[in-house]
Amino acid sequence: MKEKKIYRDLIERFVRYARVNTSSDPAVLSIPSSQRQFDLQRMLLGELHQMGVTNAELTATCYLYASVPSNIPKEHPNYGKVPKIGFVAHVDTSPDAPGEGVSPQIHQNYCGGDIEIGEGGIVLKYDENSALSRCIGHTIITSDGTTLLGSDDKSGIAAIMELVKYFMGNSDVLHGEIGIAFTPDEEIGRGVDDFDIEKFGCECAYTIDGEMPPVINKETFSADHAWLRATGREIHPGTAKGVMVNSMRAIADFITRLPIEIAPESTQGHEPYIHPHHCEGLVGKSEVMLLLRTFNDREMETQHDFLNNLMAEVQEKFPDTKLEIEYKRMYRNMLVTLEENPKACNHLFEATKRAGLNPIWEPIRGGTDGSRLTEMGLPCPNIFTGGQNFHSVTEWLSVDSLMQTIQTMKHLCTIWAED
């Protein structure tokens, strides 16, 4: 009965968080990029206080920090020796799909096959979602097909909050100090821009921002952004002959020269990609923003060289159009740093086993706050949540898999206390 109540409480908690619109906004440069992210942070702050967490703090830039104190008694041989570890999740959801008016749909005891998730004919297709075959009998949560669900990363938030509730109510389970942090703007690459590692005070941390168990992550993409900008000449089309220079033609030519075999829709595993993500244009000025993703610095340099050469080819074809390209470093693969600090990963592997799973290390074809936190000196592997199809209206979550996330986190805390 107790396990069933925890299960129901987890569903209610996730649904409560999912209903809050927290979409981040890449067009806004301030932190947070949207004030609506405070709505969820204030809710979480109030719930932490209700649980008895007295040190929870919400900053002016929408970072929420708190910790559960160690309960290791003075007479214990490990008293004062257990390092503080942390758990991190982000409150914002992707702006790639609508985030207003999320209406979670609960599909209990999934028995296989397609799932109709909305009245508009939106279907979660079994043959497009291989993970569904591992979720027979699970409770599946989707949106109603008009918005994203927000499992990325409100499932991570729900898991961390359930972990806090568990340890605040079970003083007999020994653990060291446990830090938690909820960040804004992860989806637009700025999740740790104002993260205070000193305030967090952890030896290592774990982002709760993965997909299906038993996959855990110590390797992410390295990421850069590139902007190709074209400047032409605007003039009335009625008198344009020999004068107008349409910048959009050069941008369109550049995009069509990108080989399909290096696109995200054609790659998997450790294969890199170049992805034209956003394009806008007028006759006089046009721009395309590209996502560059690799797993090492050498491949990233190769992508830069490829784009520079491609721009030169387009420039030769359109000599009257001015072309320029700008690059911005976003984050780097966290594998090297984590291999230099193996304890965080070793303990995660063991905790996943104790949760009854056979852990598998797989690379993330994306990034997490942990990518940059690791780069900043805080080792930060990533843990599964049971979510799939992020950033889309067909996003879904297995509640049973999220329960396995919580079990893994509990074992992590006890393993660090034992060590």
pLDDT digits (tens, 9 = 90+) for 329-385: 999 999 989 999 899 999 999 999 999 999 999 999 988 899 999 999 999 999 999
- Number of structural domains in the chain: 2
Query: How many CB atoms are closer than 10 A to CB 130?
Result: 10
List, in order, residues 6 or more apart from 365 with CB less than 8 Å away: 221, 264, 268, 269, 293
Contact 94/64 with Cβ under 8 angstroms? no
List, in order, residues 6 or more apart from 284 with CB less than 8 Å away: 231, 232, 233, 234, 247
Q: What is the pLDDT of residue 1?
A: 60
Q: What is the pLDDT of residue 367?
A: 85
pTM of the shown model: 0.91
Q: What is the pLDDT of residue 419?
A: 80
239 and 210 in one domain? no
- DSSP category for residue 393: T
**pLDDT tops 90 at residue 153:** yes
Of the chain, the percentage scoring pLDDT greater than 90 comes to 95
23 and 119 in one domain? yes
193 and 133 in one domain? yes
Tokens of 100: 């207003």
260 and 197 in one domain? no
Residue 2: pLDDT band with limits 50, 70, 90: low
337 and 270 in one domain? no
Whether 186 sits among the annotated catalytic residues: the reply is yes
Write out pLDDT tens, residues 76-88: 999 899 999 999 9
CA–CA distance, 409 with 415 (Å, rounded to integer):
10
Write out pLDDT tens, residues 281-303: 999 999 999 999 999 999 999 99
Find the catalytic residue in 186, 224, 369, 395: 186
Whether 92 sits among the annotated catalytic residues: the reply is yes
CATH number of the structural domain spanning residue 212: 3.40.630.10
Contact 317/280 with Cβ under 8 angstroms? no
345 and 243 in one domain? no
CA–CA distance, 302 with 311 (Å, rounded to integer):
14
Helix (H) or strand (E) holding 364: none
CA–CA distance, 364 with 216 (Å, rounded to integer):
9
92 and 81 in one domain? yes
- C-alpha dihedral (27, 33, 37, 42), degrees to nearest 10: -160
Helix (H) or strand (E) holding 207: strand 204-208
Closest Cα to residue 221, out of 371, 417, 17, 387?
A: 371
Q: Which of 288, 310, 330 is the last residue of a domain?
A: 330
Q: Which of 288, 306, 330 is the last residue of a domain?
A: 330
337 and 287 in one domain? no
Mapping DSSP onto H, E and C, the string for 215-255 reads: EEECCECEEEEEEEEEECECCCHHHCCCCCECHHHHHHHHH
38 and 135 in one domain? yes
CATH number of the structural domain spanning residue 268: 3.30.70.360
What sign results for the dihedral spanned by CA atoms 172, 175, 176, 177? Answer: negative
List, in order, residues 6 or more apart from 398 with CB less than 8 Å away: 131, 135, 138, 139, 140, 212, 386, 387
Q: Mind giving me the DSSP string for 68-108?
A: EPP---TTSTTTTTSPPEEEEEE--B-TTS--TT---EEE-
Q: Mind giving me the DSSP string for 314-350?
A: HHHH-TTSEEEEEEEEEE--SHHHHHHSTHHHHHHHH
Q: Mind giving me the DSSP string for 155-193?
A: HHHHHHHHHHHHHHH-TTS----EEEEEES-GGGT-TTT
97 and 21 in one domain? yes
Of the chain, the percentage scoring pLDDT greater than 70 comes to 100
Write out pLDDT tens, residues 215-271: 999 999 999 999 999 999 999 999 999 999 999 999 999 999 999 999 999 999 999
Q: Which of 315, 330, 345 is the last residue of a domain?
A: 330
User: Alpha carbon of 280 to those of 180, 229, 286, 307: distances in Å?
Assistant: 39, 10, 6, 19
How big, in percent rounded to 5, are the helix, strand and coil portions of the chain? 35, 20, 40
Write out pLDDT tens, residues 24-54: 999 999 999 999 999 999 999 999 999 999 9
337 and 317 in one domain? no
Full residue range of the structural domain in which residue 113 is found:
2-219+333-418
266-294: b (≥16 Cβ within 10 Å) or e: ebeeeebbbbbeebebebbbbbbbbbbbb
Q: What is the pLDDT of residue 11?
A: 97
254 and 194 in one domain? no
Length reported for the chain: 419
Q: What is the pLDDT of residue 5?
A: 83
Residue 120: pLDDT band with limits 50, 70, 90: confident
Q: What is the pLDDT of residue 6?
A: 84
